[in-house]
Structure 1
């Protein structure tokens, strides 16, 4: 017959919702109010060794659950985020699994809702494409199926193109201190980083209002060209021209305009 231990005292801690349990007049273990009620622990209750161990496990889960709720309270979290956090707090895999299961059951963890919310936010924000949304959610541990479902429902192709068109124009206008070709290049690179596909980017670029001030472009070319012409003044004539042309082309100036400038400056 298993030995039993009598609860001789249940004492409230200073921390709300926590109690100290005494068995046979000696302090035995702390316990949460939730577990206290669940196991009906009060003065006079008799417990076996096996029951005491069950209570301790339940309390471990209860404490971990409380920390998980605190972690989630700041903002919505995925299952992976919560699991990773709990692993820093406990090595008890059973307690972690039990906590995660409970949080999923009451929908404090809901990866589907997380994916839907993030994709909606991304689509409404207009600054990121679906590739970036997928990358972010994959890092958060959301399954690919949930991600693709969210993208299909909340970030359709029409919305992707609409956002891309708007962003392409914004980026092109923002980079107006650069030559035309460089403005296009910078817009494309930025859009790739923001998660838009090449097909969508090409379509967006083709739609931008790309009217530029040709006089301003000429001034920019001459300013950059004269600086380079001076920089390579010690080079042989042919090499000097080639280096200036290559440098100006990398800066985004039109090749015909570059040839015209070099012919002009060479004749001075």
Structure 2
């Protein structure tokens, strides 16, 4: 039966130990274990090990290495229980070992889905300014339960959602400065909805935001679009051409008064 002849500390990896066994007349390196396995299994020089003992020690060490990896994985940021399970499956840890490890991580307070949810909501709410619908979607993707999500989302009041959405509208409006006021409002609403806010919040935010109106820029916009439409329908009779241009510009959010003003200006300039 193989006997432990020597135990040496690994030089490159702290907390790891090399086990050497006597086989026949010689001595050879057999396997390595963590300090936890070394202590818990009472591995000392002179201890006899069967083939089954060696196999079990290797299995325990594999689990211990996986535990160290998952602890490192958790050290970067909080994770949901499902994320931890997926990570362990990627490491090809056996199902029964995953169950035991997750239970132990819960006992050590390393994983707690409710606490994870609440921290996740605060971060996405305060740092990224994401809307509640997008945050909920991301939490579902992380495998968190509906109950945990609903509890955590109580931190994100409608008042705060509206405050964030309104600020984003005011900041984003410059991206649409060449659009008509109506078109600008539509695009701003779409932007807020895409950020994960409900339609009702997006609508209120656009109403409350101080959207700058620049008559000169709006005239440049209607002039640019009007010229485009005027060329597009140049083969039509004048009456039909004007109607088509009106429809085109109205569809882009310009008011009837502004459209009539542009057509009148266009006709005068072409005379």
TM class by shorter-chain length? 0.7 to 0.9
- Which residue of 1 is the match for residue 64 of structure 2? 62
Describe how 1:148-227 pairs up with structure 2 within 5 A. Answer: 148-152=150-154, 154-210=155-211, 212-227=213-228
Which runs of 5 or more structure 1 residues have no equivalent in the other structure? Answer: none
Residue 5 (structure 2) aligns with: 8
Is the 8 Å Cα contact of residues 64 and 96 (structure 1) preserved in structure 2?
no
Task: After TM superposition, list the pairs within 5 Å mapping 1:97-176 onto structure 2.
Answer: 97-125=99-127, 127-152=129-154, 154-176=155-177
Q: Cα RMSD over matched residues?
A: 2.6
Are residues 21 and 211 of structure 1, via their aligned partners in 2, closer, same or farther at CA, if it must alter by over 3 Å? closer
TM-score between the two structures when normalised by the length of structure 2: 0.84
> 1:81-117 deviations in whole A, cap 9, x for unaligned?
2222222222522333333332232222232222111
Post-superposition Cα deviations, 1:40-93, rounded to whole Å, max 9, x if no partner, equal: 110122345554444233211101111112222333322222222222222522
Distance 2:65 2:105 in 1: 13
TM-score by length of 1: 0.85
| Partner SS for 1:46 | coil
Corresponding residue for 1:20? 18
Once the two structures are TM-superposed, the CA of residue 225 in structure 1 deviates from its matched residue by: 0.5
Structure 1 residue 140, shift from structure 2 partner: 1.7
CA distance in 1, matches of 2:6, 2:144: 47
Could you list the runs of 4 or more consecutive aligned residues of structure 1 that deviate by over 6 angstroms after TM superposition? none
Equivalent residue for 1:252? 253
What CA distance in whole angstroms lies between the structure 2 residues aligned with 1:34 and 1:243? 81
Q: CA deviation at 1:130?
A: 0.8
5 Å-filtered alignment, 1:25-44, equals 25=23, 27-44=29-46
